[in-house]
Amino acid sequence: MGAYSIIKRVNPGTSTVNSLGQSFMLPGDTGRMKIVAPPLRRLKPVPPSGTGATPTARFNSQRVERAGERMNAKMSALIIDDEQPARDELAFLLKGVPDIEVVGQGKNSLEAFGLIRDLNPQLVFLDVQIPGGDGFSLIRKLIEKKVSLPIFVFVTAYDQYAVRAFEVNAVDYLLKPISKSRLEKAILKVWKRIETDESTREKIDRLVNMLEKNRQAPSKTKLIVKTAGRLHLVDSDEVIYATIEDGVISITTKDFEGQSNFRTVEELQANLDPQTFWRVHRSYLININRIKEVVPWFKSSFQLKMDDRKQTEIPVSRAQTRRLREILNL
């Protein structure tokens, strides 16, 4: 009889009602038999997603509401953390989230950069402190290399990074050890970001395209250079480098050297194209198009041989050595 079962035989004339409020009568003189359906399972109502609803209830409710729209689509995610136990714990928690698929794990900045570039994940759980540079420097490198940015959720044992996390547009910030309910809250925030009419990635891409479309070639700045009692007007792209000594700024071109009328290197730099002129040292401002050779120096430092008549070698400060390595892939 399927899901129904015969419980007992009763005498004729006895009124019998099952748990559904239905009375059944069998033919013949066998009397009336009580046939009862198994009790219905009463589903616990999911609280509304307002005040008073538990994080898990809101998570389940909103995930069900989205199911028809996403057609069971999963969000690809990376876990970046230098500690294997931390990666394993987060991966275990994410296994209980049907909407998330962990596609890779990394333990340092170099691995993270390669995974994000090659796998193009939608979400990255990023530990702030990882070998090879912190999470913030990783994001800067992704932007500089024009790698499509995922959504970031920062993970760390220290809360002093929270403000900086949101400054780089992270969706959320998780403190270790991570609880299941707190992780579910973070994932809801991520889905909310993704399901907006226009994602953060689309906004960034459109902004970059707009800037590139509207970008005009910088006009050539004319600089006054004093030499041998005469004032020369020089196009900025003719400048090879500028240096300051004893409060006097000297400008070197292919044909001559002379003094500038600017009082500080900062003031001179503000009047030049930032894409062309680079402050490699507190005393030197160079035209990157006039670098002839990169010369390795002591303790992993470098000097730049310039394209002037003297082939001047200019030191690169420690602070700028890292940028030089990134520019030249050293």
pLDDT, residue 29, reads 43
**pLDDT at 22 exceeding the cut of 90:** no
Domain 55-196 falls under CATH 3.40.50.2300:
yes
Percent of the chain's residues with pLDDT above 90: 28
pLDDT of residue 207: 47
Q: Has residue 234 got a pLDDT over 70?
A: yes
- pLDDT tens for 267-284 read 898 888 887 899 999 999
CATH match of 222-328 with 2.60.120.260: no
Q: What is the per-residue pLDDT across 97-137, written as a single tens digit (0 to 9) for each?
A: 888 999 999 999 999 999 999 999 999 999 988 888 778 88
pLDDT at 32: 44
From-to residues of CATH 2.40.50.1020 in the chain: 222-328
pLDDT at 203: 53
Residue ranges of the chain assigned to CATH 3.40.50.2300: 55-196
pLDDT at 53 exceeding the cut of 60: no
Q: What is the tens place of the pLDDT at every residue in 36-52?
A: 444 444 444 444 444 45
pLDDT, tens digit (0-9, with 9 covering 90-100), for 56-69: 555 554 544 444 44
Q: Report residue 72's pLDDT band, with 50, 70 and 90 as the boundaries.
A: low
Q: How many other CB atoms are found less than 10 A from the CB of residue 189?
A: 14
pLDDT of 159 higher than 80: no
